[in-house]
Amino acid sequence: MAEAVEHFWDSLSQGEADFAQFIIGELGNEAWAAPIVAGIRDNGGVTQANKDRLLELRFAYALHGQGIAARYEIAGEGQSTIDFGFANEGRQWRVELLRLGETRAPREASTSRVDADGIPRTSRILRTDADDRRQSTEGETLKAIERICQKCESKGRPYKFPVPDDSYHAMIVDFGTFLNGGDVHDRVHVALGAACVAPLYRLFWENRPITGVFSAATNLRGAAECRARVHFLGFIRERSFRPGEFAEATQFIANPNLFADAAQARAAIATWPFQPAVLINGGDQAE
């Protein structure tokens, strides 16, 4: 009989674990990174339960590789903290990391069984016509948009990112467990909404197009704050867990509400420390 699977698609791989152990050794003498390493050690070490902290660890190591001594857990809006603050190319950055861990709906859509040859197999099917609509691509897309927006609001007030000043604000979203990493159309749909993808890739919920984080039509909790305060969403899908992967594994989408045109957005992302930075909506016309 098939059984539901927990964390199969969101497990800690051997490669991720080995890279984490390597980084801990490398960052051991870096005072600014000490709280990150200590947080991992104090909460069980390199385990699946610490995957959020391991993402922070890899980002810290990537900054270290660029010669950047960042500030960790800097002051944010509403008595919150933002994961990282640092300067690069004459510009200050505030960066919050968000790992889209596996949600309950896709776990319940996953089953495991042992085939006739005694080999265990696991499968997951997200269907538009599922009895539970959450177990669908549409449901997962809505949930991702909701989780991103909610980072910017708490108890009816702005949270995390302050009103933009001379700093750029970025939210780096770990897309690894979202639809097996998703593709460029998924990233655009989550950030900008159905109107910004080709008709073939448009998703609907209750016969209405699903709008994105930066869309003026999105009224989820925190959406207005995201539109007003977050310059970039960066979607990362790591595969090999090795030095230098952050640049090539991340694709950015600029917030069209905070940039006059694509040229201005390109100039801003040029100050990001990991180059070349891929800006999906960095064409001649801002979407």
Least reliable range by pLDDT among 8-12, 199-203, 244-248? 8-12
If we measure between CA atoms, which residue out of 139, 107, 125 comes closest to residue 205?
139
Long-range contacts of 150-156 (CB under 8 A, 24+ apart): 150/220, 150/221, 150/222, 151/96, 151/98, 151/222, 151/226, 152/222, 152/225, 152/226, 152/229, 152/230, 153/221, 153/222, 153/225, 154/78, 154/80
Band of pLDDT at residue 238, cut at 50, 70 and 90? very high
Band of pLDDT at residue 133, cut at 50, 70 and 90? low
Give the pair of three-digit tokens for residue 105. Answer: 């709906």
Please give the angle made by the CA atoms of 283, 286 and 161, to the nearest 5 degrees: 115
Distance CA(97)–CA(111), nearest Å, equals 30
Quick one: pLDDT at residue 286? 37
Quick one: pLDDT at residue 240? 93
Residues 37-67 have pLDDT tens digits of 999 999 999 999 999 999 999 999 999 999 9
Please give the angle made by the CA atoms of 214, 81 and 25, to the nearest 5 degrees: 110
pLDDT exceeding 70 applies to what percent of the chain? Answer: 83
Listed in sequence order, the residues at least 6 apart from 147 whose beta carbon sits closer than 8 Å to its beta carbon are 98, 100
Listed in sequence order, the residues at least 6 apart from 267 whose beta carbon sits closer than 8 Å to its beta carbon are none
Residues 69-83 have pLDDT tens digits of 999 999 999 999 999
Q: Does pLDDT of 110 surpass 50?
A: no
Phi, psi of 242 (to 5 degrees): -150, 165
Quick one: pLDDT at residue 258? 98
Average pLDDT over residues 267-279: 97
Band of pLDDT at residue 118, cut at 50, 70 and 90? low
Give the pair of three-digit tokens for residue 229. Answer: 């305060």
Average pLDDT over residues 147-174: 96
Band of pLDDT at residue 117, cut at 50, 70 and 90? low
Please, which residues bridge with residue 94 across strands?
Answer: 85, 169
* Domain boundaries defined on the chain: 66-102+133-279
Q: Does pLDDT of 130 surpass 90?
A: no
If we measure between CA atoms, which residue out of 153, 152, 228, 144 comes closest to residue 193?
144
Quick one: pLDDT at residue 267? 97
Band of pLDDT at residue 177, cut at 50, 70 and 90? confident
Quick one: pLDDT at residue 29? 87
Listed in sequence order, the residues at least 6 apart from 38 whose beta carbon sits closer than 8 Å to its beta carbon are none
Q: Does pLDDT of 147 surpass 90?
A: yes
Q: Could you give the dihedral angle defined by the CA atoms of residues 258, 193, 286 and 257, in that order, rounded to the nearest 10 degrees?
A: -10
Listed in sequence order, the residues at least 6 apart from 262 whose beta carbon sits closer than 8 Å to its beta carbon are 254, 281, 282, 283, 284, 285, 286
Size of the chain, expressed as the number of residues it contains: 287
Q: Does pLDDT of 126 surpass 50?
A: no
Band of pLDDT at residue 262, cut at 50, 70 and 90? very high
